[in-house]
Amino acid sequence: MRHIIHIALAALLIATSLESSAQGTTQWRDIHKVKRHETVFGIARNYNITIDELLNANPEMREKGYELKKGAVIFIPYSKDDAQSSTATGKTLPAKTTAATDKSSARSTAKTAPQSAAKPAAHRLSTIRIGIMLPFLDHSSEGTRMVEYYRGVRAALDSLSKEGIKTEINLWNINKDSVVTSVLAHNPAIAKQNIIFGPLYTSQVRPLADFCRKNAIKLVMPFSVSADDVTTNPYVYQIYQDDAALSGRSIGAFIERFAQGYRPIFVNTNTPSDGKYTFTKALREVLEGKGIKPEITNLNTPLGDFAKHFSSTTANVIILNSGAYKPLERLCAKLDSLKKEYPSLRISTYGYNEWFIYQPNLESYFFKYNVHIPTTYYFSRTSDRVENFEREYKARYGQGMNPDCLPRMALLGFDHTMFFVRGISKYGTDFNGIAKQDTGYKPMQSRLIFKREGKGGYQNSIFQIIRFKTDGTMDSLTY
């Protein structure tokens, strides 16, 4: 392996003594998620460490009444001999695969943070240092998602290693309650990263972004945050696009594609609003401002009255004011009844990102009713690359990616890592992800093209319409 992995659990480190903090970042060989019927003896034997070494790394295991339970997360230390060997040789030490992380290694990373905030001259890097600051040990669904994201990162590093790209990765567990300034103060190794992915929580963005600016580190924010640092900080790369921006682009794409030659039909539901009313109201206002009067009906309207809103001479485009499954399922059934009575009707449907979740159950309807979904990502379940990735993921971890989570977290981690690390390897520290900097990587799920926000950072600008065509094929319309 040509990439090096360090695990630094910041939340625990802050609680340790000042003496431990002064020595640098605490390192573990691995993080292990306890399986059913596992024992302390068995875990220690599997990792070739003594029981005392395991208990010293997890002091709570010495407490009276402690029970090793399925799902518990414990730290796997390096054995004394392994730690000495690593320090002496500087080589990567192998580790066993676990549910949380795998093949970790330890090497001293405690170095002094650079004092200058000036942007360094662009240069190629022999080893690209990657930091990930996310809540890996959070026992909620957020932690599970972040572990899956990291697994995608690991898969990308394996691929990059085969290309001859050397990387070094450090993990810092940053939970919702973690104080980022304390984490940074107790971990001088963070200042030596070339790129950091994170954080997950908005409150942690500003101190981390300021730190990255001071130390000339690229900060990639993969998930939804409401901070505006991308507009002022040239080291911030924001992948997430907020709802207001996406709503505006969705409306613009609709106008470009359907304002001429189509009859817009808004279909209301009697279900509680799921946030789509704001979008449909804004779209209606834009259409009316252009002199286009849309039809408005209801999902509960009798079929005869429902049919009166459709044109038999021009194409129709439906906009449902819900992104939920049940209203969409009912709409599909109603359109089937309508087409049975009026087979010559031409119908398209403008949908929502959530509809990808329902694709396995409703895909035939998507093709039949020419569904268009505005989105920033898409992956084809039937592509060879995705199928191979899913097969290897399941073989490695004993389970597939979470089918209820879109976008797929592991694919996100893979695409993000391949894009940035390949880019930095090719263009050096001058890489900023703009359109003219081709990394040569074709994403499985998430395309990335960044545009600079004034004199600030870089915002992902990708927006596309995924179109399910009536001939059973699909394409992507990029805007």
Quote the CA–CA distance of 106 and 86 in Å, as a whole number. Answer: 7
Per-residue pLDDT tens for 204-243?
Answer: 999 999 999 999 999 999 998 888 999 999 999 999 988 8
- Spatial contact of 411 and 386, defined as CB atoms under 8 Å apart: yes
How confident is residue 88, by pLDDT bands cut at 50, 70 and 90? very low
C-alpha of 72 from chain center? 25
Residue 456: pLDDT over 90: yes
Residue 105: pLDDT over 60: no
How confident is residue 345, by pLDDT bands cut at 50, 70 and 90? very high
Q: Name which of 304, 372, 314, 367 is nearest 345 in CA terms.
A: 314
Half-sphere exposure of 247 (CA within 13 A, CB side): 14
Average pLDDT rounded to a whole number, residues 118-129: 74
- Spatial contact of 236 and 212, defined as CB atoms under 8 Å apart: yes
Q: Name which of 13, 377, 426 is nearest 185 in CA terms.
A: 13
Average pLDDT rounded to a whole number, residues 9-14: 40
Quote the CA–CA distance of 257 and 267 in Å, as a whole number. Answer: 19
Half-sphere exposure of 222 (CA within 13 A, CB side): 28
Please tell me the predicted confidence (pLDDT) of residue 166.
96
Quote the CA–CA distance of 203 and 225 in Å, as a whole number. Answer: 9
Q: Which residue has the higher pLDDT, 33 or 293?
A: 293
Please tell me the predicted confidence (pLDDT) of residue 359.
93
φ/ψ bin of 310: left (φ > 0), alpha (ψ from -120 to 50), beta (otherwise): beta
Average pLDDT rounded to a whole number, residues 133-160: 89
- Give the helix ranges, DSSP H, for 259-347: 276-289, 303-307, 325-341
Close Cβ partners of 206 (under 8 Å, ≥ 6 residues apart): 227, 229
Using the CB atoms, write b or e for 59-92: b if 16+ within 10 Å.
Answer: eebeeeeeeeeeebbbbbbbbeebbeebeeeeeb
Residue 344: pLDDT over 70: yes
Task: Specify the length of the chain in residues.
Answer: 479
Using the CB atoms, write b or e for 303-330: b if 16+ within 10 Å.
Answer: eeebbebbeeeeebbbbbbbbbeebbeb
Please tell me the predicted confidence (pLDDT) of residue 309.
97
Residue 453: pLDDT over 60: yes
Per-residue pLDDT tens for 308-328?
Answer: 999 999 999 999 999 999 999
Q: Which residue has the higher pLDDT, 440 or 75?
A: 440
Quote the CA–CA distance of 97 and 154 in Å, as a whole number. Answer: 12
Per-residue pLDDT tens for 254-309?
Answer: 999 999 999 999 999 977 666 788 899 999 999 999 999 999 999 999 999 999 99
Residue 412: pLDDT over 90: yes
> Is the peptide bond between 407 and the residue preceding it cis, with omega within 30 degrees of 0?
yes
Quote the CA–CA distance of 215 and 350 in Å, as a whole number. Answer: 45
Please tell me the predicted confidence (pLDDT) of residue 58.
85
Q: Name which of 460, 434, 446, 421 is nearest 195 in CA terms.
A: 421
Residue 106: pLDDT over 70: no
* Helices H / strands E in the chain, number of each: 15, 17
Structure tokens at 335: 């359109």
Structure tokens at 433: 């992800």
Average pLDDT rounded to a whole number, residues 423-443: 95
Give percent of the chain above pLDDT 70.
84
Amino acid at 467: R
- Spatial contact of 452 and 466, defined as CB atoms under 8 Å apart: no
Please tell me the predicted confidence (pLDDT) of residue 307.
97
Can you give the pTM of this predicted structure?
0.76
Structure tokens at 383: 């592509």
Please tell me the predicted confidence (pLDDT) of residue 71.
77
Pairing state between β 218-221 and 167-173: unpaired
Please tell me the predicted confidence (pLDDT) of residue 381.
83
- Spatial contact of 472 and 380, defined as CB atoms under 8 Å apart: no
> Is the peptide bond between 199 and the residue preceding it cis, with omega within 30 degrees of 0?
yes
Average pLDDT rounded to a whole number, residues 407-425: 97
> Which of 166-170, 328-332, 418-422 is predicted with the least confidence, judged by mean pLDDT?
166-170
- What is the 8-class DSSP label of residue 323? -
Average pLDDT rounded to a whole number, residues 161-166: 95
Residue 4: pLDDT over 80: no
